Amino acid sequence: MDVNTAIELIYSLLSIFVPPLLSCSVKYQQIQIKTRNKAIQKELSAEISKIPKNKLIEPNLPLLYSALQSYVLQSGQDEIKNLFVKLISASFNSDKMEYLHPCFVEIIKQLSPIEARILLSIYDSNKIDGISALKDNREYLLVSTPYLKTTEDINMID
């Protein structure tokens, strides 16, 4: 499978997932759907184009379907969308296929934006910049990080 075929598959599935905007005119709805499809297609094609051509495969369709549907339904949560983009692109990569599981979609849907930022930070840098220990409802910062600034942030993750 080449990149264009992968993008065409995603584009054809997007028409299923983009919900109509009920309060708008039909013409405005069409413009919104086209704009959203182009943005999604651009974001996904950038990530899929990073996969070597000899590693591109047919994706696991149930995983791709579920991840795309969840991606489209996220609004204003770029961190969560970014995790879905990485999951969708991984479904086209033969090296990552054995590590993918359909439950990842549900796990990502349950994450808060700060948890998504932490996971993306770990993914991008391959190191953890912050670890805290909790004992008797007190936090002991073992390693600092830019994402865990307050006890409230830690409690959200906890």
Cβ–Cβ contacts within 10 Å for residue 48, how many?
Answer: 24
> How many residues make up the chain in this entry?
158
Model confidence pLDDT, tens digit, residues 98-151:
888 889 999 998 988 888 887 777 766 655 556 667 777 777 766 666 655 566
Residue 20: what pLDDT? 47
Query: How far apart (Å, rounded) are the C-alpha atoms in residues 99 and 76?
Result: 28
Model confidence pLDDT, tens digit, residues 71-102:
877 766 788 888 888 898 899 999 888 888 88
Residue 131: what pLDDT? 66
Residue 21: what pLDDT? 43
Query: How far apart (Å, rounded) are the C-alpha atoms in residues 132 and 149?
Result: 11
Please say whether the beta carbons of 43 and 86 come within 8 A: no
Task: Answer whether 0.95 is exceeded by the pTM.
Answer: no
